[in-house]
Structure formats: C-alpha cells, structure tokens
Structure 1
Amino acid sequence: MRKSPFGLPELRKARRSGAWLLLATFVFSVFVNLLMLTGPLFMLQVYDRVLGSRSEETLLALFILVVILFTLMAFLDFARGRVLARFGARFQSLLDGRVFNAVLKRALFPRDRSEPASGLRDLETLRTLFTSNVMTALFDIPWTPMFIGAIFLFHPWMGWLATFGSATLILITLVNNWLTNAKTLEAQASSLRAQGLAEQVRRSAEVVRAQGMASSVAARWLTLRDTALGQSIKSSDWTGLFSSFSKSSTLLLQSSMLALGAYLVLQGELTAGAMIASSILLGRALAPVQQALGQWAMVQRARGAWTALSELLRSTPEDPDFHRLPTPEANISFAGVTVIPQGARAPVLRGISFYMGAGEALGVIGKSASGKTTLAKTLLGLTKIAAGEVRFGGATLDQYSPDALGAYIGYLPQEVVLFTGSIGENIARMSTEPDQEKVIEAAKRANVHEMILSLPQGYNTLIQGEDGQLSGGQKQRIGLARALYGDPVLLLLDEPNSALDADGSAALNRAVRDFKAANRGVIIMTHRPSAISECDRLLIIENGKIKAEGPRDEVLGAMVSNVHEIRKPIKKVEPQ
C-alpha cells in the first residue's frame, strides 16, 4: 500500500530543511564540550603543579588562559542557542500556513467542529522544544562517554564508578518515559476537552446567562477540569519522583566519586588534582542527562504534539494545484446529487437534479432541516458528494480552488460572523489590501452605507469579534455587503431576510434584480415563501428530495395558499 505523502512525511521534511542549522549546532557543540575540559584541567594543574611549585607566575598564566577559553566557550554556547532558535522558527514558519489551513479545513467536519483547534498550539509546542535547553542537552549527551573516558585515564575504578552512575541515570530516564508518557497524554487530552467546553461557553455567554445555564455548564467544566488536574497531578507525581531520585542519586554519585578518589590518594594511586578533576568531569558527564530528565514533561508534551500534528496533516491533505479557469457563467447544474455528511447514517440530500441559467433567480424553499443549507454548502464545495455531480459554469466544483470559488460566489450564511477588524475590512473579506471603492459600492448595494457612516469612525469602526455592538439586522446587512464585495457572478443567500427590516429586504430585492439584469445568478434558501418575490423559478425540498420545481407562479399556485401576498412586491429603495 502506498504511503500518504501527508502527515509525518511533511513534519520530517520541515525538520530536514533546517539540517544545516543542526549541523552548525553540532559543530559548535564539539568545541563547547571540548572547552568544558578547561575546568578539570585547570584544577589538575593548580593542585598538582601550582601548589607544588608555589609559582605565582604559573597560576597567573593559567588563569588568563582559563578566562580566554571560558569566554570563547560562552560565545560558542550562545551561538548554538541562537542557531537552534532559528531552526525552531524555520520549522514553524514552514508549517504555519499548512497547519492553519488544516485546522480550518478540519473545522468543516461536524464531528471536529466542537474540538479545540490544537494544531497551532501543537506546532508552537514543537518550536518551544527545538529552542529549549533540552535540545542542547541532546547535543551534549553523546559527549558523556568522552568525559567518562577521561576519568578512566586517571584511574579505572573511578571510570567504572562513573559508568555505573551514568547508566543508572539513563535507565531512570527511560523508565520515567515508559511509566509517565501515557499519563501525560491523558492529562493533555482531558485539558483540551475542558478548554473546548470553556471556549464554547465563552462564545455563547449571552445564551448561557439568559437561559440560566451558568451553574450547569460551570459544573460540567469543573468536572472536566478536575479530571485533567487529577491526571496532571498523577503524571507530575511520577515525574517528580524520578526527578528527585535522579537528583539525589547524582549527589550521592559525586560524593562517592570524591570518597573513592580520596581513598586512592591515600593509597598513593591518585593525585589530589586528579581526584578534583574527576569529580568535575563526572558532573559535566551527568549534566545533560539531568537536564533532559528535569524537563522531561516538555519532551513528553512535544512527543504528543508531534503525533497529534502528524495525524492532523495526514487526515487533512493539501489541496491540489488548480488550473486557473476563466470567470464562469452563472449557470448551475445538479445531476443526481446525493450527500451524506460525515458521521451521518442517512443521506441529507437524495438524488437532487436541477438547472439554473444565467440571469435567473432560483428560490429554494423548505422547512427547517429539509436540506437547504446542505444544498448551499454543497454548491460552495464545503461538503463531499457521495453520488452525482455539481457543475458551475460548465466545470465541476473540484476544478476550482476554494479561494476562486469563494470569489465567484457571494455567500450570505444564516448566521453572519464578523471578525476582529474594521467594518471595512469585514466587508472586504478581511483582505490585507482592500479596495476601498468596492467596499463602499458593496455597502451601498446592501443599503448599509448610511448606517456605517453614522458610526463614530465610519468604515474604520473596530469590531471585536462577536462583541454585540451591532444588531442582528446590521450584521446581516454587513454580511450582505461582504457577499456583494468584489465581482461575484452568483449570489447565494441562506435565509437572507431572517433579521432584515423592510429597508434591508428592499435592498436585498434590489441586489437580486441587479444580478439578474447583469446576466448573473441568484439562489435564495429560505423556509419563508415571502422571501422569494424576485425569484423566477422555485425549487421545493422536503426530506432531502425535490418535491416540486418550476416557474415561480406555477409552483406557488400549486403548493402555497397565500400566493397573492407572496407576489406583492416590496417597496423599492433607491440606490444611495
């Protein structure tokens, strides 16, 4: 079976792209670890040569040399830290866009919409590990045998003691990983569930407060939080146990090394300088192991982040390269389309077939949960088609990139979401370089220009997400302006007049007329027949199937009792 190029291979490729930085870190580490011998050698010379000869000149010369070498070591150690920081930044920058798009794509799946978007946080966790002291410890650990080998040069007994102590600490690290990894991952998962619920409650604070749900959701959140805290404490207890045991074992080992060295000095088999130098070398040999063990929780979090990020990228592959197609005509065709949303057992749309030509307005009527919104999302390419095909301008939807499809289709959803930014930026679809003239033009066509000008800062009025400073009708009209921004050839409106007043509905109808006059198309999803007064044709959906389809008046006459009220035109609003 051919392996997917997404997921783990992408992470490895991003890591390999900075291999030259890791190579530079390795080179710096070679010299840093060699310079680490400065201290033991200085001690050896002081005890065995300077004190014996009582030469102040020799002491001064050695001290000046030590200052120079330690200064060079500090510079090289700083340099490798900066190189690792750039390796981590490079790794993150290569994956930032990919992970962001994967998180956005994953949110389209109903099953994953309620889960917290941890992908970007996982990427940040990996970058933090790559720039932490753990990475420098990993580059230093391979030098542990060199320091132990230097101890062997002084005396085999001391070398074997150092070998036994280092092996013990490494064994402690491995056992720690084996016993605490699962507990750490469980604690992380529980914490993410608690964060997800808290974010949902925060976004729905008004509903929670208005419906008296605060105590209930707080109790649920506290239950999840307590579970996460309990699991975190268990994991921390185990890690702390091993860390404390490791620290005590290191101190005992260093004392044992001094005791053994003193015994050998008394036996005349070792000099006092070699005894002190061996103790320093042992401390240096054990330092990276201790450092890694002390930050083992970070390593485990990074391992979990690596696994989660790999799964996220594997399950949400990149979009293929799209051939840029010319601007399509506003004709839509559904041919035997069946849609089964992810996780659903039965189709929401069953064998939908219809055609809408350019210059027409099609009204799609149906009760709530009849399949109207799913039909809209299918046209927008947001749901996968189980059978059949949808064509826009003669080309199937999968031939358009998501950005191109979004530019050609002006979409007004049922619930308008405004993003943190100015009103003008929201109308311009959060473009970093909005076209001010097109922003104003879209606002006028949505009959919201005067309302925006009445705000303290006009189009520059800052919106802090869902802060509630705008009414539902104002949001919907700004959403309509956003749908009209640019040069869409099709207008797709899902319950467009649910929060509009008479002026807003009139502006909506005027926009529909303008689109038809420009040989463009309009599709209106609604369960209110009164919203389709400007439609030429109607399509009635019931339980995911087409119940009736044809010219508006014929369908209304056959299906609706208050035909005359629906046909009554809404008073027009003159363009501003």
Structure 2
Amino acid sequence: MVAEKTEKGRDELRLAMRRNRSLFWMVGLFSTFVNILMLTGPLYMLQVYDRVLGSRSEETLIALTILMAFLFGMMGILDFARGRILARIGARFQAMLDRRVFRAVLRYDSMLNRNSENTNNGLKELEAIRRLLASPAFASLFDLPFTPIFLFGIAIFHPWLGALALIGGGALVLITLFNQITTSAPTRLANRATSASDNVAEQLRSEGEMVRALGMSEAAFRRWHRERHSALADSVLSVDRSGLFSSLSKTFRMFLQSAMLGLGAYLVLQGEVTPGVMIASSILLGRALAPVDTLINQWALVQAARQGWRTLSALLTEVGEEEPRTALPRPRGALTAENLTVVPPGAQQAALRMVNFDLAPGEAMGVIGPSGAG
C-alpha cells in the first residue's frame, strides 16, 4: 500500500536517473578498465618473486617496474575521470529536480493539516541523494561485480586459497547485512528527531521577537532542547552501531589478508605454490573485498540517501506537477478611467466625481485639492 502511494514520485526520480544513462554506461566502462588494471599489483609481485628473484635479472626488473608504473598511472587517470563523471551525474540529477522539488515544497507548505516533515527536508533529501551519487560508496557499486572474478582468480592459484577467500567474503557480506539491519531503525529515528528539532528551531526563530517580548526564551529553549536531545541520543546510537560494524569489518579484513599470507606460506612450504602466488593472493584478496569495506564505512551516507529517496517519492507523489497556466497577452501599460468616483473613508462627499481620463505608457497624473495639498 505504501509502495502504491509513492509510485508516482519514484517514477519521477527514476526518470531523472535514466536521463543520465549514457553517463552511467561510461562509468561502467571506466570501472571495467580500472578493475582490470587493479591486477597490475598482484601480477607484478608474482613476476618479481617467481621470475626476477629466480633469474636475478635487473633488466627484467626494470622493464616490469616501468610497465607497472605506466599501468598504475593509467588506472589513476581512469579512476579520477570516473569520479568526475559521478560528480556530474549527481549535479545533473539535482539540477533536473531542483525546480520540481522546490515548487512541491512551497505548495506542500501551504496546504492545511499537513505534516511538515517532507516540506522542510525535501531539498535536503535531494542533496543527500546527490552526495551519494558523487561518493566513493556509489563508485564501489560498480566495483562489486568484479569481486567474484577476483575471488575466482585466487581459487585458480590454489583451491584452499580460494576457499579462504570465499569464506572471508561471505563473512563480510554478513557483516554488511547485520549493519543494515541494526542501524536502519536508529538512523531513521535520528533523522526524524533531527527534522523535528530543526522545525522547532525554525518556528522559534521566525517568531523570535514575540518570544523575547513575552519572556518565553527559556521555555522556548527547553522545548527545542527536548527535541534536540532526542535527536542526539538516536544519532549517537546509530553512530555507535555503525562504528562497531565498520571497525569489525576493517579488523576482519586485515586478519583475512594475514591469514591468506599464512596459508600461502604453508602451501609454499608444502611445495604446492610459489612465493609469488602467496603475495599475489593476499593483494588480490584485499582488492576483492575493498568495495564491501567501502560500503560498510560509508553506510551512513547510503542510509541518508535511501531515506531521502523515500521522502522525495512521497512528496512528489502527494504534490503533483502544476498544470500549465493559460498564456495571457503582455499588459500594454495604458490606463483608462471612465466615470470614476472616489469617496474617501469616513467622508460624506465624493472627492472625485464622474472623472474620465486616459494615460499612455510613461505618463503620470496627479490629483490635487483646492489648496494644492493633494
């Protein structure tokens, strides 16, 4: 039922997203090349440990290093370009909806018997979505499809290494899900409480002169502080839980990379893999899990954008687009009066009686009394 009530607004938001489709395809293309070039580090270490150290060839080392530097330079350029494109996607999305949301906010605010939460947050929620579109968290969504490919690459080195990487990746996904489950409610409550405190502050500020004149400053502060304290309590709870999972994911990822080195060293001792494979597997694992780690660390941004999407969907659904107005001819600026009679307030006789005149654009006329006082 809720989905039906916000479907029209969602369609407007999706339409604005679809207008950036060509830019999204470009980001996807750049992400493909960036993730392919991410293999430079593991392959470089693999060649250094297995070829250069074994052959003791300085020429090979120099050639590999020059190639590695060139590939990493290309990766940096593509990653920078991808970030610029995402920033412009966010800016275009906001520019497309600025007028629509602004007018919806004004119209919604003028309606009676309405909850003003959407009104005060409409433009802020649009800004929250823009920030997500331009953030590394959104870029990591384009990197996520390559995580299984990197995990498969580790499994090619050795099945045990692949199993460890798969188990570790699954554990990080579970951490992400628990993060979503445990932080969604406090974040939503914190946003509502913050909105309520902002509403109270705005109302008191607009009526500040009257509040001070009536000596109600302290009572006004207590009212605002009550809402603010509730917002801070919910916000601290949300940050605590989000920080817990962020620290947990970071610690587990570091442990997992060390465990990958340990397992690789054991396999080297058993003669099943080379030292280069041991180092390359650890680097590849870090790259595979980086998008998940980024999403966990920036989950507050994701939550704010999701809440903003829901709020804007409800606002745009409830406040439809204004129908086009009838185009009227441009006023000529001429003034014609026929049989004009004016009786001043409280007077018994007319000051002007049956007056006729025409004023062309640019002309002025004054009415003066018998004494010239007007």
If the TM-score is normalised by the length of the shorter chain, which range does it land in? 0.7 to 0.9
Alignment of structure 1 residues 308-387 onto 2, 5 Å: 308-324=311-327
- Which one of 268, 279, 283 corresponds to residue 280 of structure 1? 283
Q: Which has the higher helix share?
A: 2
CA distance in 2 between partners of 1:231 and 1:324 (Å): 51
Does residue 124 of structure 2 align to residue 118 of structure 1?
Answer: no
Cα 1:259/1:518, change in 2 over 3 Å: farther
What is the Cα deviation at residue 247 of structure 1? Answer: 1.2
Does residue 322 of structure 2 align to residue 566 of structure 1?
Answer: no
Superposed CA offset, 1:290-311 (max 9, x none): 0000000110000000000011
Question: Is the contact between residue 5 and residue 314 of structure 2 (CA under 8 Å) also seen in structure 1?
Answer: no
CA distance in 2 between partners of 1:199 and 1:233 (Å): 23
Question: Gaps spanning 5+ residues in structure 1: where?
Answer: 328-407, 409-485, 489-513, 521-531, 535-564
Question: Is the contact between residue 94 and residue 127 of structure 2 (CA under 8 Å) also seen in structure 1?
Answer: yes
Cα 1:273/1:570, change in 2 over 3 Å: farther
What is the Cα deviation at residue 322 of structure 1? Answer: 3.4
What is the Cα deviation at residue 172 of structure 1? Answer: 0.9
CA distance in 2 between partners of 1:304 and 1:191 (Å): 13
Residue 173 (structure 1) aligns with: 176
Give the residue type in structure 2 aligned to 1:253.
L
What is the Cα deviation at residue 114 of structure 1? Answer: 5.6
What is the Cα deviation at residue 6 of structure 1? Answer: 3.4
CA distance in 2 between partners of 1:570 and 1:230 (Å): 69
What is the Cα deviation at residue 267 of structure 1? Answer: 0.6
Cα 1:199/1:146, change in 2 over 3 Å: same
- Which one of 7, 10, 26 corresponds to residue 9 of structure 2? 7
Give the residue type in structure 1 aligned to 2:237.
K
Larger Cα Rg: Structure 1 or Structure 2? 1
Question: Gaps spanning 5+ residues in structure 2: where?
Answer: 353-365, 369-373
- 2:113 match: secondary structure: helix
Question: Is the contact between residue 6 and residue 314 of structure 2 (CA under 8 Å) also seen in structure 1?
Answer: no
Superposed CA offset, 1:219-262 (max 9, x none): 01000000000011111111111111111111111111111111
Question: Is the contact between residue 126 and residue 306 of structure 1 (CA under 8 Å) also seen in structure 2?
Answer: yes
Question: What is the aligned residue count?
Answer: 352
CA distance in 1 between partners of 2:168 and 2:79 (Å): 26
CA distance in 2 between partners of 1:570 and 1:211 (Å): 45
- 1:111 match: secondary structure: coil
What is the Cα deviation at residue 19 of structure 1? Answer: 0.8
Cα 1:569/1:144, change in 2 over 3 Å: farther
CA distance in 2 between partners of 1:96 and 1:120 (Å): 8
TM-score (norm 1): 0.58
Residue 453 (structure 1) aligns with: none
Give the residue type in structure 2 aligned to 1:38.
T
Cα 1:487/1:135, change in 2 over 3 Å: farther
Residue 297 (structure 1) aligns with: 300
Give the residue type in structure 2 aligned to 1:107.
D
Alignment of structure 1 residues 1-400 onto 2, 5 Å: 6-112=8-114, 115=117, 117-324=120-327
CA distance in 2 between partners of 1:50 and 1:106 (Å): 70
CA distance in 2 between partners of 1:280 and 1:79 (Å): 24
Superposed CA offset, 1:416-444 (max 9, x none): xxxxxxxxxxxxxxxxxxxxxxxxxxxxx
Cα 1:570/1:163, change in 2 over 3 Å: farther
What is the Cα deviation at residue 518 of structure 1? Answer: 6.4
- Quick one: higher RCO (CA 8 Å, sep 6+), 1 or 2? 2
Q: Which has the higher strand share?
A: 1
CA distance in 1 between partners of 2:135 and 2:141 (Å): 11
Cα 1:104/1:113, change in 2 over 3 Å: farther
